[in-house]
Amino acid sequence: TVLLLSNPNGAQALTTDHNVQGGSNQALPGNSQNTNADTNRNIVNGSQNTPNADATDNTSTNQALTNHQNVGVANQVAPTPVQPNSLSELNNNHSDAHATVTETASNTNHHLAANNSTLNVPNNINDNDSERHLTLKEIQEDVRHSSDKPELVAIAEEASNRPKKRSRRAAPADPNATPADPAAGNGGAPVAITAPYTPTTDPNANNIGQNAPNEVLSFDDNNIRPSTNRSVPTVTVVDNLPGYTLINGGKVGVFSHAMVRTSMFDSGDAKNYQAQGNVIALGRIKGNDTNDHGDFNGIEKTLTVNPNSELIFEFNTMTTKNYQGMTNLVIKNADNDAILGEKVVAYGPIWRLFKVPENVSHLKIQFSPKNDAITDVRGIYQLRDGYKYYDFVDSIGLHSGSHLYVERRIMEPTATNNKEFTVTTSLKNNGNFGASFNTDDFVYKIQLPEGVEYVNNSLTKDFPSGNSGVDMNDMNDMNVTYDATNRVITIKSTGGGSGNSPARLMPDKILDLKYKLRVNNVPTPRTVTFNDTLTYKTFSQDFINSPAESHTVSTNPYTIDIIMNKDALQAEVDRRIQQADYTFASLDIFNDLKRRAQTILDENRNNVPLNKRVSQADIDSLANQMQHTLIRSVDAENAVNRKVDDMEDLVNQNDELTDEEKQAAIQVIEEHKNEIIGNIGDQTTDDGVTRIKDQGIQTLSGDTATPVVKPNAKQAIRDKAAKQREIINNTPDATQDEIQDALNQLTTDETDAIDNVTNATTNADVETAKNNGINTIGAVVPQVTHKQAARDAINQATATKRQQINSNREATQEEKNAALNELTQATNHALEQINQATTNDDVDTAKGDGLNVINPIAPV
């Protein structure tokens, strides 16, 4: 299959008269034209091998073919270009087509309605191996069903009434156009930066715009309806092929694609089975006469092109039963008929590149049979008309070359110091043929600004709208190298793909290159500039006059604002702290720093100019200050409070202290504590906190209360008891036992008084206990009774005895006086003994001894 891609509106559906010359075995199709745009074209197959008396002067017609051609179909809608553009009205490239229309109108009585509707040639043509024969039907089906080409309009057609192939052309996009919505598709946050190429720097810009072909030339829309009877293969020979000029006024054969399954074709050649609709035979030989070609000289077509552009011819020659067939492709300057390039098209590649010279804008393209390539005419199938046909062409494709440009670049408007950011560069091919991704054919270089570096292994590629006709799984990954010294990222294609799916970027498709960059310790905020270059070439398998050239073009420089990394500073501002854990002095400093930090954090919100913003060093210094400014005091304060508790416990547990004394002692401790805690709060260093804590604990350790009230009271009691003891011991006439009893009572009273003082809680209670104790002690004296009782007993015995002596009538006075004198002596002695006795027992002994002496005394 051959595709000829051309200007929209350039290919027209035309009708013609057919003067079949030498077609003895063929029935001329009867052409019935209907100028109504809604008339369907119907092919009616009559009984095959049945004579048709009304057909022509042929008496042995193999098939009757009645054709109703609808030439006014105008219900196709030209697609809207993907990119906004302001293309001028496209010129009709086919000057010969206009001529044919005129000629046809003059030679027929039919009114023709030219079909100027356009249809984009699909960019997702399935690529095959070197012998693949591309079919227009596949292209049409792909266009109708492609999900990644929303700009195409579905065409309503009845299955059997619409031509299988039509000349089509895609309106190219303008690479310099700004997208309608630069933020579309990027979520609003990243900015899609358009980076168009300057057309003068990219020769491949000639591959787009007006006069950039993208057309399929077929042989269907010409009102020629050849027989489809495979039993009796036939070729309709015409001397007028709409849309083309017959070279030297010659002829060309038209036959149905159904013949590919006959002996006319090489049944083993897969590409022969791809034919659809009408097929032309460029060459023929009369029997075995290699000099009789029956005026088959080939066809030609003129085309308006952009100078210095590229054209890809996409077709091949289908071979005969014995594997023969080659097409001479000759390209001339239509203005002076100078030959610009020649190529024999057969076998092998189907994509051949032609470079349009700088000063050429009109081409004459000739397709002629290569008769000298037929070396074995006997192996070619001969039809009933006596001719052997060869050099078969189904359709011819012509594409302008590729054109890559940066459609958009998605990146954040700012990059943060010492952090990564992502760049997505969308490279679009708005040419009409694929850009090669063979090894090193595609090179994208990014010159990074100072302070920005590539993140290794971060590159990913994607085709967001697919890459029609190319199996992405077969494409190799890009090769990425990073020159850190010069800060250059180089991204190169590495080929891959397959014979059916070569590695390339298809027309109207986008390659997204997504990679990460990192800002590396830039000292101050700044705007930095990136410079990219793109090297690429059009994919081709062969060339006609010169191979595809690589072109290196530069994008417009683009910038990004580098802002300082404030993450650590933000973390400090956001840090939730327990203020009670830190010294007041450090909190004051921290809050001052926090206010400064917030001002820095609000630089963007306050629209502070980039060159007026704070440097990274200042930000880091401030963050470091905030990280180390807060001085923890809670541990030191807890240690002081624990010491206070210990000291107050000692006070409260001291029973020698009265409540008033305890309260006074605790007051001192609390005053010291408050002073220590206050001094800790004034510290701005950890060492200062530790020093104040240690000094405070030492001070608190000395806050021990000294009891005064109770000890004084007890001493007063003891002093009183000592004096009272002396009094008791010096009590006259008291026996030792009587003194001891008093002393024992004194000891008991003293102890009780001391205990009462100890148990007293207030100063008043202590005073009361002291006074009561002293009074009780002062009342303790010996009970002096024992000696007096003994003396009384002696005196009573003496009195009784004196009375007895005096009453004794038997005694003389002298005897009485002697007895009385003895009594007096005994009494005095007994009393003296009693007085000298120290214990009760001694007194009792003295008393008994005295009575024993007194009682026996009597006058003698």
Task: Retrieve residue 511's tokens.
Answer: 């390659």
Residue environment code for 404-435, b if the CB has 16+ CB neighbours within 10 A, otherwise e: bbbbbbbbeebbbbeeebbbbbbbbbbbbbbb
pLDDT category at 273 given cuts 50, 70, 90 is: confident
What is the per-residue pLDDT across 130-176, written as a single tens digit (0 to 9) for each? 334 444 444 444 433 333 333 322 222 333 333 334 333 333 443 33
On the 0-12 / 13-18 / 19+ scale of CB atoms within 10 A, 89 is: exposed
Where are the chain's structural domains? Answer: 43-173+208-400, 404-563, 567-629, 634-701, 709-778, 786-854
Task: Retrieve residue 226's tokens.
Answer: 């050849």
Q: Cα separations (Å) of 819 from 7, 800, 809?
A: 190, 13, 13
> Above 70 in pLDDT, residue 773?
yes
CA dihedral of 48, 54, 56, 59, whole degrees rounded to 10? 60
For residues 183 and 505, which has the higher predicted lDDT (pLDDT)? 505
For residues 116 and 806, which has the higher predicted lDDT (pLDDT)? 806
Quote the mean pLDDT of the chain.
81
For residues 123 and 784, which has the higher predicted lDDT (pLDDT)? 784
Q: What pLDDT, on the 0 to 100 scale, is given for residue 270?
A: 79
Q: What pLDDT, on the 0 to 100 scale, is given for residue 272?
A: 78
Q: What pLDDT, on the 0 to 100 scale, is given for residue 193?
A: 53
268: which residues sit within 8 A by CB, 6+ positions away? Answer: none
Q: What pLDDT, on the 0 to 100 scale, is given for residue 78?
A: 35
Question: Rounded mean pLDDT of 424-428?
Answer: 96
Domain 404-563 in CATH 3.40.605.10? The answer is no
764: which residues sit within 8 A by CB, 6+ positions away? Answer: none
Beta strand 414-416 with 558-563 is parallel
Q: What pLDDT, on the 0 to 100 scale, is given for residue 470?
A: 85
Q: Are residues 246 and 215 in contact, defined by beta-carbon separation less than 8 angstroms?
A: no
How far is CA 627 from its chain centroid? 29
CA dihedral of 746, 751, 752, 753, whole degrees rounded to 10? 90
pLDDT category at 89 given cuts 50, 70, 90 is: very low
On the 0-12 / 13-18 / 19+ scale of CB atoms within 10 A, 47 is: exposed
Task: Retrieve residue 389's tokens.
Answer: 């046909």
Q: What pLDDT, on the 0 to 100 scale, is given for residue 63?
A: 32
Task: Report the predicted TM-score, pTM, of the whole model to 2 decimal places.
Answer: 0.62
Looking up tokens 């805690």 gives 677
Phi, psi of 353 (to 5 degrees): -100, 135
On the 0-12 / 13-18 / 19+ scale of CB atoms within 10 A, 813 is: exposed
> Above 80 in pLDDT, residue 438?
yes
Phi, psi of 785 (to 5 degrees): -145, -25
Q: Are residues 2 and 316 in contact, defined by beta-carbon separation less than 8 angstroms?
A: yes
What is the per-residue pLDDT across 305-323, written as a single tens digit (0 to 9) for each? 999 999 999 999 999 999 9
Q: Find, among 770, 713, 777, the residue nearest to 746 by Cα.
A: 777
